[in-house]
Amino acid sequence: MDRIKHAFASKRNLLNTYFTAGYPSLHDTIPLAKALVEAGADILEIGMPFSDPLADGPVIQGSSSVALANGMNLPVLFEQLQGLRAAVPETPVLLMGYLNPVMQFGVEEFCRQAAAVGVDGLILPDLPLDEYEEFYQETFKKHGLKAVFLITPQTSEERIRRLDSLSEAFLYLVSGPGTTGGTTLPDAEAQEKYFERIAGLKLRNPRLIGFGIADKAGFDRACGHAEGAIIGSALIRALEDATDAPAEAARFVRGIKSA
């Protein structure tokens, strides 16, 4: 079953929750995944901690530093994810991270192990599009992994259409300039025009809006312009001092998805 396509076909106002593997504790990955889904998360985006996360703001950078210090790395993550599909059998799961660790691990082996544990797709913001087409696209496809690409307000129509043609998952709309978890609100009028411009392109892939969405009001606004939204930094922030991380994650999601 194509879990990503099924999620978009069967639900509206999807919530994609990002959390960093190995944070706040090394072995929280599967308990957090289970708690988030049981509370109402529709898609899981599991961050692979990296020492130089270019697209991530200070909150996610901080969680990556903690996770790395806890001992998280790709071999440990894949070992933990052996229990993924027992915990969340039907929920789409994406791995989000950066190209360098994947290349060090070996792209073919990385894709093989990701597919073996039930991962559905990959988000690698620093993967150049030309390199993806020339070197990695066939490997992703061979292992049934969907590539998710980011679009920003500065992305040209030509590139957007190219990204749309290459993706079999969804398009990640970055809500404004800056990194994840930014506190500076983008110009509301400019943002509205951006979302309207994307909608007017009649792209074939669904869209999720991310960056800067921190609460139910922001989630609801994003759902007015796309099929759903991605929340990461606000969830990580909620877990910082939690005595029971899965319970806190569940409480956070219920607050976002409440009627």
Q: Catalytic residue among 28, 56, 120, 227, which?
A: 56
42 is catalytic: no
Please tell me the distance from the alpha carbon of residue 37 to that of residue 16, in angstroms, as a whole number: 10
Cis peptide before 24 (omega within 30 of 0): yes
Contact 166, 112 (CB under 8 A): no
Please tell me the distance from the alpha carbon of residue 207 to that of residue 203, in angstroms, as a whole number: 9
Q: Catalytic residue among 2, 28, 42, 45, which?
A: 45
What kind and span of H or E run contains 140?
helix 137-142
DSSP 143-169: TTPEE-EEE-TT--HHHHHHHHHH-SS
Please tell me the distance from the alpha carbon of residue 40 to that of residue 14, in angstroms, as a whole number: 9
Please tell me the distance from the alpha carbon of residue 176 to that of residue 178, in angstroms, as a whole number: 7
109 is catalytic: no
Contact 180, 233 (CB under 8 A): yes
DSSP 75-134: HHHHHHGGGHHHHSSSS-EEEE--HHHHHHH-HHHHHHHHHHTT--EEE-TT--HHHIII
The catalytic site residues sit at 45, 56
